[in-house]
Amino acid sequence: MSEALFFQEMTEEQKYGQFMKRINAGEKIEADDWMPEDYRMTLIKLISMHGISEIMGALPEKEWVPKAPSLKRKLGIMAKVQDEMGHGQLLLRVAEDLMKPLGKSREDIMQDLFSGRLKFHNVFHMEAPTWGDAGLIGWLVDGAAIITQTNMLNASYGPYARALKRICAEEVFHAQHGEAIIMALAEGTDEQRAMVQDAVNRWWEALLMFFGPGDASTTGTSKQDTTIKYRIRTKTNEDLRQDFFTKYIPRVLSLGLTLPDESMHFDQERELWVYKQPDWNRFKDIIKNNGPKSQERLGLRRTAYDTNKWVREALNTAN
């Protein structure tokens, strides 16, 4: 009690000092704790983007849920995409708690998505024209997600760290589901093998972009310094991209697949993968909802949202 009173008498600066001390000591910040405004805003941006990406991420795979080529695959992909929606729900709940003091709600998140203020992940703006893409999304996109999310498992914000713990456990299953699809295709007919190679070629640049630009000089802004300062994450975008290469390049090659980047190699001296940079201007354009499927997928979401307006209204009446 006396501690609480003492805290109320502190200046903003003292509160900030104590906050930094707490997170540097590895303590978790909870939803009702005092937090600096830019910490709150950074988390809202990060977590609502993560949450809405999980939800928009259901759409590229959505095509392949009814089309999956066997009962086993149908069941597998149904379970997988359902998990993604569940992650979205979990994360939006975390974001909603952070937004509450600002008087904002789920409705604002949806409206921000539709207006383009809230961005979703670059990979979910891309096309997924074959069953090979469905496998590749599970294998490499979810594989990349595991790498970025594992980097935040010890995030200073407790509710996010706990949500990520559960999400990462499920993502491991998704990556296995994707890998199983890819393995079956890679060991299959010529046509099936071509399907996988085609998907790798198509997704390669998007996968490089997945981790974000190396630093602010590439795209003008980068939140990574803030998130590192506040102990939300530990590694930089480039560290994560390198981790991804180390984990997946040998696997891609072992399936007899090639990478659409001839310059790609491991520099033994610098202990770094050397690769061709993706087109970061294109990246900026994609996340501004100008990717190949951005408008179609937003349109689908928006139409569903409008079509179901009567249901939400009815639920409000009932409550």
Partner 1 sequence: MKRRFFHGEGWRKVTEPAGNMPIEAKIKPALTSLLYQLADDDFILAYRGAEWLGLAPHIEEDVAFSSISQDTMGHAAMFYQLLADLGEGNVDSLAHARKTSERRNAVLLELVNGPGHYLSSAQYDWAFAVVRNYFYTQAKKIRLDSLKNSSYRPLAEVALKVNMELYYHLLHWKTWFIQLMQAGGEARTRMEAAIGKVLADFEGVLILGPLAKEMAEYGLIEKEEVSKQRWLHTMKPVFESVNLAVSEANLAMKTGNGRIGEHTVDLDDALSTLSEVYNINPAASW
C-beta closer to partner 1: residue 29 or 94: 94
Residues 293, 127 contacting (CB under 8 angstroms): yes
C-beta closer to partner 1: residue 23 or 91: 91
Integer Cα distance of 163 and 86 in angstroms: 11
How far CA 271 is from CA of 234, 246, 250, 263, in Å, comes to 20, 10, 15, 16
* Minimum distance, C-beta of residue 71 to partner 1, in the bound complex (Å): 5
C-beta closer to partner 1: residue 89 or 277: 89
Question: Helical H runs in 211-308?
Answer: 216-219, 224-229, 237-254, 280-285, 294-307
* Minimum distance, C-beta of residue 104 to partner 1, in the bound complex (Å): 16
Contacts of 194 (CB under 8 A, 6+ apart): none
Return phi, psi of residue 263, to 5°.
-80, -10
Closest CA to 88 of 121, 130, 136, 42: 121
C-beta closer to partner 1: residue 188 or 292: 188
Residues 154, 255 contacting (CB under 8 angstroms): no
C-beta closer to partner 1: residue 33 or 313: 313
* Minimum distance, C-beta of residue 176 to partner 1, in the bound complex (Å): 16
C-beta closer to partner 1: residue 24 or 308: 308
| Total residue length of the chain | 319
* Minimum distance, C-beta of residue 66 to partner 1, in the bound complex (Å): 5
Name the residues that contact partner 1, by CB under 8 A.
55, 58-59, 62-75, 78-79, 81-82, 85-86, 88-89, 92, 131, 181, 184-185, 187-189, 191-192, 296, 299-301, 303-304, 307-308, 310-315, 317-318
* Minimum distance, C-beta of residue 137 to partner 1, in the bound complex (Å): 14
Integer Cα distance of 249 and 106 in angstroms: 39
C-beta closer to partner 1: residue 23 or 163: 163
* Minimum distance, C-beta of residue 90 to partner 1, in the bound complex (Å): 10
Integer Cα distance of 157 and 279 in angstroms: 33
* Minimum distance, C-beta of residue 68 to partner 1, in the bound complex (Å): 7
Integer Cα distance of 112 and 183 in angstroms: 39
Q: At what angle do helices 190-210 and 237-254 cross, to 10 degrees?
A: 170
* Minimum distance, C-beta of residue 168 to partner 1, in the bound complex (Å): 18
C-beta closer to partner 1: residue 290 or 308: 308
Integer Cα distance of 135 and 152 in angstroms: 26
